[in-house]
Amino acid sequence: MFHNQAAPYINPTFGAIVVSLTAVVLGSIFLIPQLKDITFFTNQKGLIFVILAGLSAFFIDYFALKTYASGISISVGGPIIIGGSVLIAAIIGVAVLGESISLMKVAGITLVAAGAIILASL
């Protein structure tokens, strides 16, 4: 909803940066009181994956703002963006990370994809 309302008034790249900076400020407010009691990471793999998550978050914000700026309604754009994210996560889990696949997972992935396709065609 926030992406939808902001999109007509802001450049998508700048908007995605503002979203990320807002997360940095809020995260810092939570982190600073804990600085003496925490370990930031214990394995470089965790740091790599959290950076990849940050890149993904930036592009989700960017494409959401760009999509809504084109005039798509939130009732169509929201499910497509969320459904697309679910679909990508499921595919990465199975194809890249080697998670097991079952008939129920295939059915769920198929239904999410079908829903996104139906909404995109409206």
Domain boundary among 52, 71, 90: 71
Based on the domain organization, do 108 and 95 belong to the same domain? yes
Q: List Cβ neighbours of 31 (8 Å cut-off, separation of 6 or more).
A: 38
Based on the domain organization, do 2 and 62 belong to the same domain? yes
Looking at residue 3, what is its pLDDT? 93
Q: What is the pTM of this model?
A: 0.76
Based on the domain organization, do 89 and 43 belong to the same domain? no
Domain that holds residue 120: 73-122
Based on the domain organization, do 95 and 110 belong to the same domain? yes
Domain count, the chain: 2
Counts for the chain of helices (H) and strands (E), in that order: 5, 0
Residue type, 58: F
Based on the domain organization, do 58 and 9 belong to the same domain? yes
Instruction: Write the pLDDT tens digit of every residue in 64-75.
Output: 999 999 998 888
Instruction: Write the pLDDT tens digit of every residue in 42-64.
Output: 899 999 999 999 999 999 999 99
